[in-house]
Amino acid sequence: MPYRAAVDDFDFLLGQVIDFSALSETTRFADATQDMSRAILSEAGKMCDAVLAPLQRAGDLHPARLDNGVVRTSPGYAEGFKAIADGGWIGMSADPDYGGMGLPMSLTYAVNEMMSGACLSLQLAPLMSQGQIEALEHHASDAIKTLYLPKLISGEWTGTMNLTEPQAGSDVGALSSKAVDNGDGSYAISGQKIYISWGDNDFAANICHLVLARLPDAPAGTKGISLFLVPKFVPDDNGDPGTPNTLSVVSLEHKMGLHGSPTAVMQYDGATGWLVGPEHGGMAAMFTMMNNARLGVGGQGIGVAEAACQQAMAYAMERKQGRAGVGGTGTIAEHADVRRMLMTMKADTYAARAIALSCAHAIDMGNATGAADWTARAAFLTPIAKAFGSDVGIEVAQTGLQVHGGMGVIEETGAAQYSRDVRVTAIYEGTNGIQAMDLVGRKMMDGGEAANRLLDEIEAEIEGARVHFPNMADAVWQSCETLREATDWMVAQSDMNARFAGAVPYLRAFARVLGGHLHLLSAKADKGGPREKLARFYIQRLLPEHQGLLAHAQAGDKDLFALTTEELIA
């Protein structure tokens, strides 16, 4: 059974659960009707199924390689990227003045997720361009926008993000790349950057690097970082790729997965670049780009979860083994334990997708209305969507592998590849630990206001479902109350280490409760239908996980540091 993009799920979620229609009541997204959304999702889904999914194995078997300084991409990837570009999918949410479609992030999220499930390593290329487009739209000069945006949006050129250096990973403020003013409006950028996804390719006419570096006498830490646009070829007077810039791909990493995506070490030797945003103001621009990239990475996990789930379902319904189970076909899908795995995969993928779409919706409402509440909601949901989406991707891929039994670890099956490819999503764009610290730290600097407003809304919606599903509503309501207590506990900790010590289990529990709420809303919109049945499974079996997580979350940090270093390594 080949991959099929989950068009119906998106259509249902946008139409019945996420209140997509609220968007079409805004001026900015007045055209974003459900009919339009359905047409777009369907068109994108066809491309994912027919063009991208067949490239999944090729990237793994024939990794991107470095050939005399030039990256050679996997077979078919150039054609796949062209299909993405020609469909207009790179610039879906980009400014129409520069060739974008100006569509809501909700739809861009959906298409990005569908592409991830089809071929994650290729999908990462347009995702990087999207981040760059957004950063340039918000922070670049008109001259840069006019020259670069149309080419990035059309896919003629591609974009990358250059943050990390060997000594500066999660602590980006420790970076030491240098920028010197050339006196002609350009700067000379020098330094080495690592983990540059799609740092080079052989299908774009130019590759545009957004590079963080320090100007002379810049303040220490993140306050002294500036952002520069550094193209592979310096554009000539016509805006065409001109002189090769003084930058190079030093090497490509040997990764456990995502072999089709070239992860480069980049060297800049006085390379010509242009400032994006103010001097020393690079972090603000990077955060613009990274916030939406975080949602995108969550979607990468969820897309892989969808694909792994579909593959496991197909295998389980084909594979005969043991005495006939419930239903009598004799396939392993009718064995209770296998069915538990399949249902868990499906219910968690759905929950994570609904959370990610809620986040995208909040971004859209914030952009359309400018309301601070929506912006805060988006900011609060972003680390949850990123961490839970990628964790679900990893877990569902692992469970899918397990469904295959011995075949699961045989590479030809493809199940192992999903588990290898998706693993990095819990690490890049800020590790999931960093996401959780962001949630209980920065996102609770409001004293828990955004969290509690969300919980208030959820509880009000639960009350509306109680008449239909008293037991399910009660279970979700109880989980909400337990989460509220833990939230109060978090906010009350003035010692940030006490918060951080429980950040990861807290984030996970928050996602569990959100998932329960969104499953309940789905059940309400599909009474007696399959989404009600799936909600019952989730709420009865998976939601209770929040109890142990929230006990863990409120344990404080004292016992964490009770062991001395010597005792720890003993």
Q: Are 191 and 213 in contact (CB under 8 A)?
A: yes
Q: What is the DSSP string of 153-172?
A: HHTSEEEEEE--BTTBSS-G
Would residue 429 show up in a list of annotated catalytic residues for this protein? yes
| Burial of 527 (C-beta count, 10 Å sphere; 0-12/13-18/19+) | exposed
Query: Could you tell me how many residues make up the chain?
Result: 570
Tokens of 480: 């909400």
How many Cβ atoms are within 10 Å of 375's Cβ, its own excluded? 17
Residue 421 is encoded by which pair of tokens? 């490819």
Residue whose tokens read 């949630």:
439
**Coil, strand or helix at 176:** coil
CB of 79 to its own copies, least distance (A): 27
CB closer to its own copies, 145 vs 519: 519
* Cβ proximity to its own copies, 17 vs 85, nearer residue: 17
Q: Which is nearer to its own copies, 92 or 211 (CB)?
A: 211
Residue with tokens 């239903």: 327
Burial of 2 (0-12, 13-18, 19+ CB in 10 A): exposed
CB 331, min distance to its own copies, A = 9
Q: Which residues partner with 563 through β-bridges?
A: none
Closest distance of CB 131 from its own copies, Å? 17
Closest CB to its own copies among residues 8, 481: 8
Supply the DSSP string of 512-559, one letter for each residue: HHHHHHHHHHHHHHTTTSHHHHHHHHIIIIITTHHHHHHHHHTS-STG
CB of 406 to its own copies, least distance (A): 5
Nearer to its own copies, 217 or 559 (CB): 559
Which residue's CB is nearer to its own copies, number 446 or number 557?
A: 557
Annotated active-site residue in 113, 134, 395, 429 = 429
CB of 345 to its own copies, least distance (A): 10
CB of 336 to its own copies, least distance (A): 4
Q: What 3-state class would DSSP assign to 55?
A: helix
Instruction: State how beta strands 263-276 and 187-197 pair.
Output: antiparallel
13/136 with CB nearer its own copies: 13
Least Å distance, CB 531 to its own copies, is: 9
Nearest to 156 by CA among 69, 64, 91: 91
Distances (CA, A) of 558 to 549, 551, 555: 18, 15, 8
Q: What is the distance in angstroms between the CA of the first residue and the CA of the last residue of the chain?
A: 50
* Token couple for 200: 């080079």
Active site positions, annotated: 429
